Structure 1
Amino acid sequence: MEVRLMTEISKRIEKGEKVALVTLIDVDGSSPGKAGSLMGVFEDGSIEGTVGGGNLEYKIINSALEAIEEGKNRKFDFELVEDGELHMRCGGRVKGYVKVFEKRKKLIIIGGGHLGSELYKLGKFLNMYTVIIDDREEFANKKRFPQADELIWGDIGRVLEEYDLDDGSYVVIVTRGHACDKEALRAVLEKAPAYIGMIGSRRKITDTYKDLISEGVSSKKLEKVYSPVGLDISSGQPNEIALGIMAEILKIKNQASGRHMSEVKAVKIWGENL
């Protein structure tokens, strides 16, 4: 059973879901569950395994779902007595731990050209769930992106209108041209990803924004777009531009300053704090 449980947890994480693993650490006295019992709890409320069933398990499942929602691990400690929280008569005590496995962050690369290819490599290196979207099948296929988690080709605007983006999604728009960039940006602005970045010169970006505003898109929504995309660290080569983009994404994801580490913390040299 434990092998099946861990396999299911692994599959769910790979699919991009949050998962909680419940472990009974200590059982004192009478209890429906035994120390070492494991249970997986998933975002949709389904479970794998058991920690004893009944009201105890029901309470633990709800606690695990709350932990998933918060994205934080937690401990639990229940007394199984009639006047306790669970109103059970077992007379025992159960302690346990809920470990939350966060879903993998999702990197959505819109455009499978040279820059998209370099972003893909970095996304896989950082263990992100990596998605390639292009309107050309020859630029969104397994031969070009053998380890992509998703490959989607078709009308970019329509694909993105139907694609689910959430606060774990990081979108980079690097399509083959101005018109496709605009279609992609229009579609993702209606959603709520953690990050939207778009490649382009300042003139192209200005023209794109003007076009979208004239079509009724709110300028407030455009303010959340990182464009020109990335940090100013590259020589202009695709691999260096991609590194600058991923650095910006990490800055946002980790809520970091992006400053030199030598400026962030005092450096200790030869026993002295500088």
Structure 2
Amino acid sequence: MLDIAQELNRWLEEGRDFAVATVVAVGGSAPRDPGAALAVDTEGTAIGSVSGGCVEGAVYELCEQALQDGRPVRERFGYSDDDAFAVGLTCGGTVEVLVTPVRAGNADREILATALATAAQGDATAVVRIARGPADRLGHALTVRPDGQYTGTLGGPPRLDRLAAAEARALLDTGRTGSVEVSENGSNCPGGLTLFIESSVPPPRMIVFGAIDFAAALVRAGKFLGYRVTVCDARPVFATAARFPEADEIVVDWPDRYLRGTETDARTVLCVLTHDAKFDVPLLAEALRMPVAYVGAMGSRRTHADRELRLREAGLGDGELARLRSPIGLDLGARTPEETALSIAAEIVATRRGGSGAPLTETESPIHRDTAEHVRLAVA
């Protein structure tokens, strides 16, 4: 639901009633991840998607029905020889959706409105809903802030709301969406209730060091992937908005000094395109000691060998050097800046999702990863 927060927030501001179908569990080769949503208003307008087309029609009808009777519903779709091209998933996976009516007078409307408005502004928030449990509590919701404070109730004892908020905060810390099983009395013991927790966090950062022609193409690729992109270079003549109009931020500073002072997290990707030792070595010495998602550096294999030697002299060990992706990118035979940017972006995605980078025709592993029905994180 939060993936279409801007559109749903606009609908709420306009006073529209709607129903939203959210993917709460997937299995096998499902086309969309948990959290993907399709919403339908009273005029029949639809936004979003839960399956990329396979079951959209059936889910649309579920939304219309929920709008009419005001009752949430959970439905499972999977492959069937009889209805594969009607309401089944032709890819062979399964997807479960929770359909929640958001109508004037609903107890949870204001709760969801708060979360949608927060997410639409780009601020962090989480929504917890009962995705499996007693019919009269299905869809009950509460919203959780990064500090763990929450509004709303799941309709059980207060300890259930506190547990749900703690679970949501743990997921929110890492920007993840998933399900947890708890008891109706608010204990961690599985049984009775399945809580679906959606997290919305600000976009992850991509920092591109080196204001060269390849950087402009990488900025565009980073924006396409949903990153907030910064370009940093110590040379003011090259680090200009005119050269990088699509970057969110242009910084003129020594790369290592900027990296030490800027905010990064476990989702941040760092792309070093300077291939100049006086910039690269102090920058990479900082970067490879930081808990970021990806560190890649441009340069030939000879440049990499020299760079690695210098980094060892700077005190980095085997474990830190093993994190360095250099030469940067996957082997696509890239030549142009755009092709090179594509190879770098592909490596970033493969690193994030655990992909091999091999052609799918040569692999037997699942096409879609991270599709476990339940994500369990320890409560902080």
Pair in the same fold by TM > 0.5: yes
- For 1:187 and 1:259, how far apart are their aligned partners in 2? 31
Mapping of residues 197-208 of structure 1, within 5 Å: 197-208=296-307
Aligned partner of 1:20 in structure 2 is: 126
* Aligned equivalent of 1:260, options 359, 362, 367: 359
In the alignment, residue 163 of structure 2 is paired with which amino acid?
K
- Structure 1 position 187 matched with structure 2 position 292: no
Aligned partner of 1:65 in structure 2 is: 169
2:281 aligned counterpart, secondary structure: helix
Question: Contact (CA 8 Å) 2:163, 2:186: kept in 1 or not?
Answer: no
The verdict on how the C-alpha distance between 1:3 and 1:20 changes in structure 2, with shifts beyond 3 A counting, is closer
1:191 aligned counterpart, secondary structure: coil
Aligned partner of 1:39 in structure 2 is: 142
Alpha-carbon deviation of 1:111? Answer: 1.6
Question: Contact (CA 8 Å) 1:199, 1:228: kept in 2 or not?
Answer: yes
Structure 2: stretches of 5+ with no match in the other structure: 1-109, 366-380
Aligned partner of 1:241 in structure 2 is: 340
In the alignment, residue 183 of structure 1 is paired with which amino acid?
P
The verdict on how the C-alpha distance between 1:177 and 1:27 changes in structure 2, with shifts beyond 3 A counting, is same
The verdict on how the C-alpha distance between 1:138 and 1:56 changes in structure 2, with shifts beyond 3 A counting, is farther
Aligned partner of 1:152 in structure 2 is: 251
User: What TM-score do the two structures reach when normalised by structure 1?
Assistant: 0.75
The root-mean-square deviation of aligned C-alpha atoms, in Å, is 3.1
Aligned partner of 1:168 in structure 2 is: 267
Q: After superposition, what is the alpha-carbon deviation per residue over 1:190-231, rounded to whole angstroms, capped at 9, x for unaligned?
A: 212222111112222222222232232324322221111112
Question: Contact (CA 8 Å) 2:269, 2:292: kept in 1 or not?
Answer: yes
Alpha-carbon deviation of 1:105? Answer: 3.8
User: What TM-score do the two structures reach when normalised by structure 2?
Assistant: 0.56
Q: After superposition, what is the alpha-carbon deviation per residue over 1:89-141, rounded to whole angstroms, capped at 9, x for unaligned?
A: xxxx9875322346644322112221111111111111123222222345444
- For 1:97 and 1:226, how far apart are their aligned partners in 2? 36
1:175 aligned counterpart, secondary structure: coil
In the alignment, residue 173 of structure 1 is paired with which amino acid?
V
Aligned partner of 1:9 in structure 2 is: 119
- For 1:142 and 1:107, how far apart are their aligned partners in 2? 17
The verdict on how the C-alpha distance between 1:42 and 1:131 changes in structure 2, with shifts beyond 3 A counting, is farther
Alpha-carbon deviation of 1:265? Answer: 4.5
Aligned partner of 1:272 in structure 2 is: none
Alpha-carbon deviation of 1:263? Answer: 1.2
- For 2:250 and 2:296, how far apart are their aligned partners in 1? 20
In the alignment, residue 100 of structure 1 is paired with which amino acid?
S
- For 1:22 and 1:137, how far apart are their aligned partners in 2? 47
* Aligned equivalent of 2:232, options 133, 156, 180: 133
- Structure 1 position 229 matched with structure 2 position 307: no
Count of residues paired in the alignment:
247
